[in-house]
Every structure is written in structure tokens, then in C-alpha cells.
Amino acid sequence: MSELRPETLKRIETTEAAEAFIAEQVEEIRKQVGDKKVLLALSGGVDSSVCAALLIKAIGQNLVCVHVNHGLLRKGEPEQVIEVFRNQMNANLVYVDAVDRFLDKLAGVTDPETKRKIIGGEFIRVFEEEARKQEGIEFLAQGTIYPDILESDGVKAHHNVGGLPDDLQFELVEPVKFLYKDEVRVVGKTLGLPDTMVYRQPFPGPGLGVRCTGAITRDRLEALREADAIVREEIGKLDPVPWQYFAVVPDIQSTGIKDSKRYMGWPVIIRAITTVDAVTAKSVEIPFEMLCRIRDRIIETVPGVNRVLWDISNKPVSTIEWE
């Protein structure tokens, strides 16, 4: 049976409401945790970032944040986590560079579901290793939000660290578990997190692993990361900003011409959609001038790419992600 949102919890839509919620949660966290240590897997996404900021306000250095860079994050995201949490918020942050470990495991793997299982399983193993290095941990924090509880009966399938061995099962701390995503954003903004983190668009658990389709290679993954940054920068200028917009680099090549010579290159596919519930989604119209600007920037600056395409399909029948 899913937990129900307390009737006393009013909608958090203003800074004043968020400040009241933060004060209440800080008190609750201190009451639950005391002077013990809390461990948190910090992805840099909205939910885990707001959860981390709340816990830092409540218990400071007794929160141990573990950020695992698996090489499948978007451009600048690991650096932003370090800048915001370690440098600005003085968090007790453990940064784990596991890029080679993940990409070596994924080499030659083409099946999307197998890729997902490798990424998820390896993340649990890395997190477990880091957890065992810590002393005095008695609690595990998670950025569970209310839709997660409604949809999965309390188990956050994509972002939690379920699967840890029995000796690493800690009492949970879930300070935003009764909030909807828009409320989490208001709380994050009130806590001083940057807009680029608070309004971060949805990002799949396997990261760029499902947008670099087929077997992931390091050069194609890097091309995707660079192209995606351009796509997000340009489409982010639209008003209103689409719900989700990103690039895909599939495992196909076509003939291109450079310096009067033929060569084989990858296409970059632009995807921009709007949705209310993610069950259905519609392609967003992108002005042709913007498409041309994206095309030129990608072709001129991203090695290995010779075509830029626009995916205008809706869901259904297409899914939002390509894998």
C-alpha cells in the first residue's frame, strides 16, 4: 500500500511555503538522524540535488554525498555537481571517476536492455564499494518524490540504490517524498540551487547510454555529448521551452564529403517534445533558422558528424527515447 500525502501538506508554490517546508524538514531530519551519518547517491538531477541541499542545511558534514561519473552524463554535469556542492555548499562530497570502468563493461554491447542492466548493476557495485569505505553510516538518503511512491509503491526504480547487500541496508531518509516535481523545484530554488540544476530536464537513468544507440564507442559518445550541448543551448532559447530536448547519435554511418574527399560519418538526430504525463508526447516545432544554426554549429565543431536530422514523430507510436 502506497503512503499517502499528508492532508496537512499544502501545495508548495511560493517561496514562503517552501521556506516553511524547509524549516519543518530540517527539524524532522535532525530528529530522525541525530548526530549520525547519512549516505546519498548524488546524481546531479533535480530530486537528489534538492534532497542533498536539504540534508546539508540540516546536518552539514554528516551527509556523505557520492557522485559517480560513469561517463554517460551530459557535458558539464560532473563539473557542476563538484562546483555547486563541494565548492559552494561545502558538502562532504566523494567524487568517483568510473568512466573507464563503465565504458569497458559496455564495449561491444548492442542490446538496449543489456546496456541498462550493465549500467544499473555497475552503479550499485561502485556505490557499494564507496559505502564500505565510510565509517559510521547509519542512514541512506534518497530523492524519492511523490509520483515515485504512487507509481512504484515506494520503490524508486531508476534512481535509488536498491540491490545493496544485506549488511548495507540502512534506515531511509526521504525528505521530499511527498512533493510533486514542480514543488521540488520551488524548494530547490529557495535553497539556492542554480536554475540549470533546478530546472534540469528529465534525463534517463542510463544517461547518454540510450542516446548513443547500439554498441557505445568512446568517439561516438563524445560526439553525442558535444552535439547534445549545442542542441540544448539552442532549443533552450525557445519560448516556451519544450519539456524535453536532446540529441541522439545512432550507430549508423553515411557518406559525406570533406576537402573534396568522401568519408563516412554519423548523423545527429534532434528530438524535442512536449508532454503532460509522458504517456503521450508531441514533437515541438523548431524554427527553420534555429535548425540551420544547430546544423552549422554541429557540422563545424563536432568531429565525425556529417548529417543533422530532425525527429518529428509523436508518442505513440514512437517513444520519447530511441532505446
Query: Strands (DSSP E) along 107-231, which ranges?
Result: 137-141, 171-173
Q: For the segment 23-70, what is each residue's pLDDT rounded down to a tens digit?
A: 999 999 999 999 999 999 999 999 999 999 999 999 999 999 999 999
Cell numbers at 185, concatenated: 523545484
So what's the pLDDT on residue 6? Answer: 87
Q: Is 323 helix (H, G, I), strand (E, B) or coil?
A: coil
Euclidean distance between CA atoms 196 and 198, whole angstroms = 6
Q: Work out the number of other CB atoms within 10 angstroms of the CB of residue 7.
A: 6
The least confident of 51-55, 156-160, 261-265 is 156-160
The pLDDT confidence band at residue 155, using thresholds 50, 70 and 90, is: very low
Euclidean distance between CA atoms 276 and 281, whole angstroms = 8
In the predicted model, is pLDDT for residue 181 greater than 80?
yes
Q: What is the DSSP letter of 46?
A: H
Euclidean distance between CA atoms 171 and 167, whole angstroms = 12
Percent of the chain with pLDDT over 90: 84
* Whether 52 contacts 40, CB under 8 Å: yes
* Whether 299 contacts 259, CB under 8 Å: no
So what's the pLDDT on residue 4? Answer: 86
Q: Is 278 helix (H, G, I), strand (E, B) or coil?
A: coil
Closest to 229 measured CA to CA, from 46, 79, 65, 103: 79
So what's the pLDDT on residue 162? Answer: 61
Euclidean distance between CA atoms 232 and 244, whole angstroms = 9
Over range 240-253, report the average pLDDT: 96
Q: Is 27 helix (H, G, I), strand (E, B) or coil?
A: helix
Over range 282-308, report the average pLDDT: 98
Q: Which residue is listed with cell 527515447?
A: 321
Euclidean distance between CA atoms 227 and 247, whole angstroms = 7
- Residues in a beta bridge with 261: 258
DSSP output for 280-298: SBEEPP--HHHHHHHHHHH
The pLDDT confidence band at residue 152, using thresholds 50, 70 and 90, is: low
The pLDDT confidence band at residue 205, using thresholds 50, 70 and 90, is: confident
So what's the pLDDT on residue 161? Answer: 57
Largest CA distance in the chain: 70
Contacts by residues 100-108 (CB-CB < 8 Å, ≥ 24 positions apart): 100/71, 101/70, 101/126, 102/70, 102/71, 102/72, 103/71, 103/216, 103/218, 103/221, 106/209, 106/215, 106/216, 107/215, 107/216, 108/215
Closest to 187 measured CA to CA, from 41, 40, 22: 22
Euclidean distance between CA atoms 322 and 282, whole angstroms = 15
Q: For the segment 161-179, what is each residue's pLDDT rounded down to a tens digit?
A: 566 777 777 899 999 999 9
So what's the pLDDT on residue 2? Answer: 62
Greater pLDDT, 231 or 3: 231
How far, in Å, are 40, 121, 141 from residue 138 at the CA level?
Answer: 11, 23, 10
Euclidean distance between CA atoms 265 and 284, whole angstroms = 27
In the predicted model, is pLDDT for residue 289 greater than 80?
yes
Over range 119-135, report the average pLDDT: 93
The pLDDT confidence band at residue 156, using thresholds 50, 70 and 90, is: very low
So what's the pLDDT on residue 169? Answer: 78
Percent of the chain with pLDDT over 70: 96
- Residues in a beta bridge with 63: 38
Euclidean distance between CA atoms 51 and 114, whole angstroms = 30
Residues whose CB falls within 8 Å of the CB of residue 199, separated by 6 or more in sequence, listed in order? 46, 185
In the predicted model, is pLDDT for residue 194 greater than 80?
yes
User: For all residues of the chain together, what is the average pLDDT?
Assistant: 93
Euclidean distance between CA atoms 218 and 225, whole angstroms = 10
| Domains recognised in the chain with CATH numbers | 15-198 (3.40.50.620), 211-311 (3.30.300.10)
Stated length of the chain? 323
